[in-house]
Amino acid sequence: MSGQDLASFRAPGYQDLPDLDLYMDQVIGVLEKHLCVFFGEEKALTSTMINNYVKNRLLPPPVNKKYNRRHLARLYQLCILKSFMQLSDAAALLGALEKGATPEETHERFRAALNDAMRNVFSGTRGKESYPDPVEKALLAACETAACILRARICFDEARLKETPEKAEKPKKEAKKKKEEKAQKKSS
C-alpha cells in the first residue's frame, strides 16, 4: 500500500467483525487479514499468544473453545499496541479506555483514534480532532506510534529497493519458498 492509500486507511469497525463464534484458527485467519497492513507477512497472532492472553486475563476466556466479536476486537487492539509497547501497558491503556463503556464503544473509540493517527502520519497533516480526555490522548499517541513505525518500515523497504533491488527481493522469495514448503508438508 502506498502512503496515500494508508492516509485513507480505515480500521475495521465492531460491526465489521464476524458476528458468530469462531474457533481459534478462524480467529487468527480473520485477524491476520485485518492486521496485514501493520505486520505484512509477519505473524501478528498465534494460538500460543491467544492462550497466554486468556491465561493472563487480558482476554476473556472462550466459551466452548469459541471466540466472539468481543474477543476479536480486543485481540485486534492488543496486536497493534503490543507491536511497540509492553503488553502490560497496552492492557492498562485498554482497561482505562473500557471503563464505563461497552466492548463496542471501546472498539469504536480505538478505531477512531487509529484512523485519525493513520491519516495524520500518512497525509502529513494534523487533523482537527481533539481528545480532551487524557486516556483518549494517550490512545491517539499510541496509535500514532504504530502508524509511525509502519511508515518507517515502508520508507526503509523503499530505500532498500532503490539500493539493491535484487537483494531486497531475495528475503521475500525465501520467505515465499518456505511458506510453500510448509504448505506442501501440511498437505502430505
> What pLDDT score does 55 carry?
97
Please state, rounded to an integer, the average pLDDT across all residues of the chain. 89
* Mean pLDDT of the 97-109 span: 96
> What pLDDT score does 89 carry?
96
Give per-residue pLDDT as tens, 41-67.
Answer: 899 999 999 999 999 999 999 999 999
Give per-residue pLDDT as tens, 171-182.
Answer: 666 777 777 776
Distance CA 21, CA 24 (A): 10
Give per-residue pLDDT as tens, 118-152.
Answer: 999 998 877 666 778 899 999 999 999 999 999 99
Give per-residue pLDDT as tens, 61-96.
Answer: 999 999 999 999 999 999 999 999 999 999 999 999
Answer for the pair 86, 43: CB distance below 8 angstroms, yes or no: no
DSSP structure class, residue 15: G
The confidence band for 166, taking pLDDT boundaries of 50, 70 and 90, is low
Flag whether the pTM goes above 0.85: no
For residue 157, pLDDT over 70 is answered with: yes
> What pLDDT score does 171 carry?
64
Alpha helices in 23-133 (DSSP H): 24-39, 47-55, 69-82, 87-98, 103-123
For residue 188, pLDDT over 60 is answered with: no
Residue 56: which of 30, 43, 74, 44 has the closest Cα?
A: 74
> What pLDDT score does 169 carry?
58
> What pLDDT score does 108 carry?
97
> What pLDDT score does 83 carry?
92
Answer for the pair 37, 10: CB distance below 8 angstroms, yes or no: no
